[in-house]
Structure 1
Amino acid sequence: MNEALVLTWAFLLAFAVLAYVILDGFDLGIGILLPFARDDDDRDIMINSVAPVWDGNETWLILGGGGLFAVFPLAYAIIMPGIYLPALFMLMGLVFRGVAFEFRFKTIRARRYWDWGFIAGSALAAFMQGVILGTIISGIETDGRQFTGGAFSWFSGFSMLTGLSVVIGYALLGAGWLVLKTEGQLQSRMRTLALPALGGTLLAIAAVSAWTPFRHPEVAERWFAWPNIAFLSPVPLLVAGLAALVFYGLTSRRELMPFLASIGLFTLSFIGLGISFFPYVVPESVTIWESAAPSSSLWFMLAGAAVLLPLILAYTAYAYWIFRGKVTKETGYH
């Protein structure tokens, strides 16, 4: 099998997952932060800030999930039975969030209930994404190439920790986005909320980073053995530096810096997971080469990706460029 081809696809799918986490992460974060809005006007502004782009952000989820099925079918067959319920709950949250998003603008008397539907859908989807992450990190129970766990194998202290971690991290991304897109009292409130979200995110990163090596001794060996520790030590140092940038941006009233530095925190955390488990796509069970589809299929799909990915990137960049600038009460979705 062409190793370079498999690596290319692994990178493309990793990029799609990271793009989804960042892009849909901040609009899920807005739903998580909605209970802290002062009034209906603030809630309208918060939701309007993502109205032009939120559904396009979910394109990357389809690309990541569909790509896993097509490119690494063995991994898909092992992972999916282990996360059926969290994945189902996540999709229910995303669907309900989308319905609430539309319906809250069509009613006045029931708007409060749809707002809470938007909040619940966002929080549920974010939490279950973290649970799925924690389940995969923990390791899927397998015998050979078959899933052998039960319907609730995903439920563990570690998966609950990662679920809560993603909720807090998305709240940080959402607050950073709203600092960038809003002004006045709402912007000040989001600066205030971003500070505890930053602290919670750093605690979550530390907790997951400390717990993972205890669950996987080979991860500890990869990070802490010499000479690896010399090469990998910049990663936690960069995390600390980016956290300092978020804090500085919030306290010095910068608008773009907190959001970009928060994205950097997520990106470095994602890279850290890649360092910990590469080349496994199912930790300790299946590598990317063992799980990959035949080379002919990978080449065929790569030809399609070479056309579709630039189009998706161009559309995404265009949408964000067109709807750049501040969102106010007088502008937005109606």
Structure 2
Amino acid sequence: MDLTVIWAFIIAFAVFAYVVMDGFDLGIGILFPTFEVGPDRDRAMNSIAPVWDGNETWLVLGGGGLLAAFPLAYAVILPATYPLIIAMLLGLVFRGVAFEYRWRDPDHRQFWDAAFTGGSIVAAMAQGMTLGALLQGIEVVDRSYAGSWFDWLTPYTLLTGLGTVAGYALLGATWLVWKLDGEGQRHARALGRKAAWATLALMGGVSLYNMFLNAEYAERWLSAPEIYLAAPVPILTGLVALALLRSLAVERHSKPFWLTLALFFLGMAGLGFTMWPYVVPPGLTIWDAAAPERSQLFMLVGVAITMPLIIAYTAWAYWVFRGKVGDEGYH
């Protein structure tokens, strides 16, 4: 049993859970200005009111797990992306404060709505650019970050940032298709179609860019025998994309959201295949950055207790608030 591999999958699961759960929260913030001020805008925000703060538990688990299980990776990635991490945290703070205050300070609701949208866009863009900075490679010398303050700012990271914003907007739109009805749902479905095309175009652009970004990435996807392992990912992505576009063209409620989750899962699988076994490309593998085995085993016991509890209360919250959202909340 390789504890390092187990921990890599635990952190990957936590990151995926955060992306898909907090992603639709951020997506609703991104799309917020497109809803008219009034009942539809309030219903859009009410659709995430019971779950939005709990969704960020997975961000804490992913970041804390990286520090505990791969401390060297944590010590390299953060200095390389400090401006992005700071921007993400400030965006989440503004978004969280705006979420609460727009109801309690109606005289300044326009300001809080702008803060909710701005914080969501900044957080999404920062997360996507952080991923891009990691994929394009981080300069490491003597087990420390050796780059400059702005190495993360490149055309590639801007592309991954825009792709994340579009993907979160798609998650938010499909969530609202599921949770709203009437004119709000029709508006969300129209937004979903636009966001789907943008997401697919940007996913394709990032995938092609990866082929030129790193020779090892191209070799992994285009040479045998790896190509036989990788081939199902783009094929399934194409099939899911077609099913998603079709579901947004007809009267479907929850199906577009589940297909969007499948699209994100395949995107994460593709990224994992591209990076494996590096945790900090191009030089640090998961084994290079791993904590001592006894530390990993000790933390694994804690995760084995806490993760099922997190999954259980998250599932319970979504089950309780599983209906449509009306003017007075869930029903």
Same fold (TM over 0.5): yes
- The CA distance in 1 between the partners of 2:233 and 2:36, in whole Å, is 38
Structure 2 residue 23 is the aligned partner of structure 1 residue 28: no
Partner of 1:109, secondary structure, is helix
Q: Deviations over 1:84-118 (max 9, x none)?
A: 01000000000010000000001222111100110
**1:149: how far off?**
0.9
- The one-letter code sitting in structure 1 at the alignment partner of 2:101 is F
Measured in 1, the distance between the counterparts of 2:275 and 2:194 equals: 30
Does residue 1:62 correspond to 2:63, yes or no? Answer: no
Q: Is 1:7 matched up with 2:5?
A: yes
C-alpha distance after superposition, 1:38-76 (max 9, x if no partner): 222111100100000000000000000011011000111
Pair 1:319 & 2:317 matched: yes
1:206-217 pair list within 5 angstroms: 206-217=204-215
Does the residue aligned with 1:150 lie in a helix, a strand or coil? coil
Cα contact 1:245–1:257 (8 A) shared by 2:
no
- Matched residues in 1 for 2:23 and 2:229: separation? 30
Which ranges in structure 2 are unaligned for 5 or more consecutive residues? Answer: none
Question: In structure 2, how many angstroms separate the alpha carbons of the residues matched to 1:228 and 1:149?
Answer: 31
The one-letter code sitting in structure 1 at the alignment partner of 2:192 is A
Amino acid at match of 1:300: F
- For residue 213 of structure 1, give the secondary structure of its aligned residue in structure 2: helix
> Cα offset for 1:226?
1.8
CA distance in 2, matches of 1:331, 1:97: 20
| Aligned with residue 139 of structure 2, among 138, 141, 144 | 141
Q: TM-score, normalised by structure 1?
A: 0.97
Cα offset, 1:159, TM superposition: 0.6
Tell me what 1:280 maps to. Answer: 278
Separation in 1, partners of 2:143, 2:169: 37
Alpha-carbon deviations, 1:159-197, whole Å to 9, x = none?
111111100000000000000000000000000011110
Shift of 1:212: 0.9
> What displacement does 1:285 show?
0.9
C-alpha displacement at 1:227, in angstroms?
2.5
CA distance in 2, matches of 1:128, 1:277: 20
Task: Tell me whether 1:92 sits opposite 2:81 in the alignment.
Answer: no
Whether the 8 Å CA contact 1:52–1:323 is kept in 2: the answer is yes
| Structure 2 CA distance for aligned equivalents of residues 127 and 250 of structure 1 | 25
1:109 maps to which residue? 107
Which residue matches 2:291? 293
Aligned partners of 1:245 and 1:261 also within 8 Å: yes
TM-score by length of 2: 0.98
Higher alpha-carbon deviation: 11-20 or 240-249: 240-249
- 1:208-234 per-position Cα deviation (integer Å, ceiling 9, x unaligned): 000012111111111110232233211
| 1:209-288 matches, cutoff 5 A | 209-288=207-286
1:244-302 per-residue CA deviation (whole Å, 9 max, x = no partner) reads 11111111211111100111111101000110111100011101111110011001000
1:71 equivalent in alignment to 2:100: no
Q: Which one-letter code corresponds to 1:198 in the other structure?
A: A
8 Å CA contact retained: 1:126, 1:166: yes
Q: Which amino acid aligns with 1:270?
A: M
Structure 1 gaps, min length 5: none
Deviation at 1:150, TM superposition (A): 1.2
Aligned ranges 1:187-202 → 2 under 5 Å: 187-202=185-200
